[in-house]
Amino acid sequence: MTYSMTPKNFRRAAVAGGAGFIGSLLCETLLSVGVDVICIDNLVTGSLGNISDLHRHTNFEFRHHDVIDPILIDVDAIFNLACPASPTHYQRDPIKTLKTNVQGSINLLDVARETGARILQASTSEIYGDPLEHPQAESYWGNVNPIGPRASYDEGKRCAETLFFEYHRQYGVKAKVVRIFNTYGPRMSRDDGRVIPKFIRQALNGETITIYGDGSQTRSFCYVDDLVQGLIRMMDSDDDLIGPINLGNPSELTISALAGRIIELAGSRSRIAFSPLPTDDPRRRRPDIGAALRELGWSPSVGLNEGLRRTIACFAAEPAALLEA
């Protein structure tokens, strides 16, 4: 993937969570336009395999580090993607998830404060919770259960947004906040529990595809290449654009329709079965991306069918042992 322009406001960037699904592609894209990149990851959910090809770049550096601990880096831009995004992963250690979102943000914001670097928080559509407004615009404050099983992630991300805005107001930090809606593509972990990799793995193996609830709940899925373009545009935007800005694909469909589409595109004979809906799982999710279009000139360009074809092809090319994870 290539980016359409060389960033004008930064030349040396740190990507926290840079060995993850989104972070590794972000690192790769930044390198392609000549940006020096420091990839920071504790490898809890990230993978060295995701960044193995990046070491050929002389302007790439990997640091095995947990953002919960302070770090010294000399950069002019910091992308904070350092948190597991899958419920399967972030619910394994909810205290760690909270610390990553809160203390990790504080540590990176302190670096930005000391160095004058601009810093972007990869927030999430989960801050809207199970929304009572549809589609979700940035002005909506959300409907989040602060003590439920998803709260370590949802409330952790909400607190991180507060930290970014307070560091901007109190210390003049060049902060930026984006809210990422469901994103998919190659390099997703096969066993992370999110719906697209789970359905693809089940379809390729000819297993029954399991849908939580009755399948009528909706999501809007953005291909990862499009998302990375939005992240870079936001980081490279004028200092007075802080956000939050929604980044996602406004094309909405039901989970049942998604399952049917993956079965068809994978050429699978899998059947569909239903199981109980997890606690606090949102019923509807679709971003209002008017601000992204207006402020960044950004909107997604990869349609769902094309994005799924690319993702299925990458999954199918993996060794069978990975698909059985």
Give the residue numbers marked as catalytic: 153
Residue the block writes with tokens 């972070």: 23
Q: In Å, how far from its chain's centre is CA 17?
A: 10
Residues 6+ apart with CB under 8 A from 139: none
Rounded distance between C-alpha atoms, residue 285 and residue 287, angstroms: 7
Rounded distance between C-alpha atoms, residue 200 and residue 195, angstroms: 9
Fill in the amino acid letter for 79. Answer: F
Tell the burial category of 205 from Cβ atoms under 10 Å away from its Cβ (0-12, 13-18, 19+): middle
Rounded distance between C-alpha atoms, residue 168 and residue 212, angstroms: 40
